[in-house]
Amino acid sequence: MEPSPAKARPPRRDLTRNKPRGTVLAERRDAHRRAAMAQARGRLAPVDASTLERDGLDAAQVRERQLAELSNVISHESSRSIWAIVRANVFTLFNTVLGACLAIVLIVGDPRDALFGFIVVANAAIGVVQEYRAKRTLDKLAVLHAPRSRVRRGGDEHDIAVGEVVQDDLLLLRTGEQVPADAVVVFAESLEIDESLLTGESDAVPKASGELALSGSAVVAGHGTARVHRVGAESYASALTAEARRFSLVNSEIRNSINRIIFYIAWALIPIMALVVNGQMIAQGGWSAALASGNWRIAVVSAVASIVAMIPEGLVLLTSISFGMAAVTLARRKVLVQELPAVEGLARVDMVCLDKTGTLTEGRMELAGTTVLRAVDGWEQVLAWMAGHPNANATAAALAATYATAPAREPLQQVDFTSARKFSSATFGPAPTAQDVPGGPAAGDWVLGAPEVIIPAHQDGVLAAAEAAARSGLRALVLAHRELRPVVPGQPPEVEAAPAGLQGVALLVFREKVRPDAAQTLQYFREQGVELKIISGDNPRTVAAVARDVGFVFDGEGYDARNLPGDMTAMADVLERESVLGRVSPEQKKSIVLALQSRNHVVAMTGDGVNDALALKHADIGIAMGSGAAATKAVSRLVLLDGQFSHLPSVVAEGRRVIANVERVANLFLTKTTYAIIISLVIGVLMWRYPFLPRQLSIVSSMTIGIPAFFLALLPNARRYQPGFLRRTLMFAIPSGTIVAACILAVYAFSRAFPNANASAEDMVAQGQTAATMTVLLVALWVLGTLARPFDKWRALLVAAMVAGLVLVMVVPFARTFFALDIPSGALLAATIAVTAAGCAAIELLYRFLKRRGAVSERR
């Protein structure tokens, strides 16, 4: 039965719901670009497939594709766009409320009461300028150190930027490189590609001619060529690879806490605003009387003052500036911050997993010695061939300086090295003497790899020699050989396990140069209470020897990760005991990170190879070396551009400065929000006239919060990270804000209960507002003084400048007139001084109490 027309098509779902607006717009742009690219591809001139797969595109064909916009350029940036920066700093919830208040004051009130509007504009402008400067710096570094691709054009090899790859380009794929665009494999020699970052599948995928290599995947073994099939927005992983580099606000305790605070304040504003407006209208004689007499204007301005006081408008701004300035500071030290919260994140880390090669050592190997175990013809030439192979890893390539004469003939088949396999092999067949150089390699299987992987147990002498080398901190490899076995044409070689029946031919020992800064950096982390795990694919004894060379203290000879249990809980138990691990596979590196996270550790992971990429992606903070593989740098959050491990302490210091200073700033802003909310509630219930004019609150906000907070956010601060940012902030801000509110209400209530008999009604109101302003200025400055401790030259100068500003405002006639300050006298002045002194004493007692509880710290 045919379905009815009404039920033939289900209702369309709104797939854009619950997505950020920027993400929706980017997806729409990419969809339009994909459609345009499909049309442009159909208009391309036909190309000869055999010529293209041999020589690549010629210059005219490249130009044709560039004009058709069939390049690999992706619209996503490494940081927020200029419009996103403006939108984030200008079009916020709080700025919308403050903008509406500004418009109301300009229409119905005194323009002098609109001073807060200019402060909001200045704050937004500072935020835009500072973040734009940070964006420019980071974008320049990102472009300078962006990954590149190797292509063949016109028969020649070219090293080009990933964005310059075009449709039908012939990619040259080598170990450690990231595939820049979806491509069809043309030629493959033992080519294996890791697609784990795309599919989550940890096993490398062998690729043969005609198969698809996805963008974002990484070559882990072999080499080959591939013809670009889809570029840019059309590629499978364009969104994934862009997301790894995009400005991100994830996993930040500071931002999460501030967002929660803003959420609660935003909801509280609605009922409090209604209460305040009603209270101010009643204070002017009731709604009817106020509307008839025109005093509703005074009520509206007073309501605006209460609303402005409750909004911590500069808190988000200063947090963004702190992150941005920290990123710029680190950029000058050759540390690229790919996600701004990583600055904070490394300061929160309590566990660092260090990949030995390329992190503790320079990653360059040199041959330290060779021991001939059994003379087999041509073994030196075999080593020369393996050293010169395009897929040679760093260890095999180090043989080239000693063994340079390669055999004239190519092997019948070969298996390339991978970190999971831990060996490479080549099978040479017999050859006529005329075609070979004297002493050519003997026919058979030649295998170069880890001794314990390729040497049978009964050859214990070879294994003992390798163990002795490993205990000395050397990396030992064995070249082994077996007689030629019949090779079935078309049958793939053994790749998962070494061939049986191998005999050791030569024991090769290599040394790695330890970084001169490694010992000092590890000592720094130990002094800061950060636990360290050294992990490597090398022999555990080799890893242990290097660990001792850099001053790492531990028991035992290193743990063989091949014995690690598969169960996550059991693995975490082992990791509680062991700190130096060898023979760690790429999948195990990820599992180690996850196991440590399961024990509530905040984990940082360093690495430089493709085999580290999966672990870096899952770590709380992934740190890549600048010389590392493109795939590794793409998923990391920090890149040490010059590869100097010694930069990490400066990253920790910047993170600590940001966390500690933002906590100080948050205490200031939330203290103000607390006392503003309490005053609004009490005034609204009692239906009193609001005790401040908007212009008076502007001077209070500027001198006790805005100006000092800006400088406090940028001053040095080396206080160690302590979890509980929001709890500590509220433990100080709520009691201190309550004390300030009590002082303001006490002085204001006194002015209303004991009016000056010789003053007019308006003068009494002005004196009461001035007394409240003086009280909040003095007590809030005491709050500033407690949060600025311990005093150094700059903090003392900052507090002194704010006190001097207060004196000037009270002394200079123009300032008193502008801010409508009528200095009280007699009993009201005495009450103001007494209440202010009591309030400052209460703040001091609160500070000392919280200091004993550990909720505040005086450590710089």
Q: What's the half-sphere exposure (Cβ side, CA atoms, 13 Å) at 403?
A: 23
Amino acid at site 42 = G
Estimate the share of the chain in helix, then strand, then coil, as percent rounded to the nearest 5: 55, 15, 30
Which single residue is written with the structure tokens 């916009």? Answer: 69
Q: Are 350 and 531 within 8 A, CB to CB?
A: yes
Mind giving me the DSSP string for 11-77? PPP-TTTTS-HHHHHHHHHHHHHHHHHHHHHHTSPP--HHHHHHH-B-HHHHHHHHHTT-B---S--
What residues does 366 pair with on adjacent strands? Answer: 511
Burial degree of 200 (CB within 10 A; 0-12, 13-18, 19+): exposed
Residue in 355, 445, 608, 620 annotated catalytic:
355
- In a 10 Å sphere around its CB, with 0-12 CB exposed, 13-18 middle and 19+ buried, how is residue 160 labelled? middle
Closest CA to 475 of 499, 451, 447: 451
Pairing of strands 170-173, 148-153: antiparallel
Q: Rounded to whole angstroms, how far apart are CA atoms 409 and 429?
A: 9
Contact assessment for residue 226 and residue 173, using Cβ atoms and an 8 Å cutoff = yes
Between CA 218 and CA 467 the distance in angstroms is 33
d(CA 144, CA 153): 23
Contact 56, 152 (CB under 8 A): yes
Largest CA distance in the chain: 124
Rounded to the nearest 5°, which phi and psi values hold at 398?
-65, -15
Is 560 annotated as catalytic? no
d(C-alpha 854, C-alpha 850), whole Å: 6
Q: Which residues, other chains included, contact 860 with Cβ-Cβ below 8 Å and sequence gap of 6+? A: 716, 717, 718, 719, 790, 792
Q: Which amino acid is at 373?
A: L
Is-cis flag, bond preceding 790, omega within 30?
Answer: yes
Residue 808: count of CB within 10 angstroms of its CB: 10
Return the closest-CA partner of residue 496 out of 766, 841, 221, 149: 221
Residue in the block written with tokens 């005329």: 434
CB neighbour class for 789 (10 Å; exposed up to 12, middle 13-18, buried from 19):
middle
With residue 786 as reference, give the H or E element that holds it. helix 761-787
Catalytic residue numbers?
Answer: 355
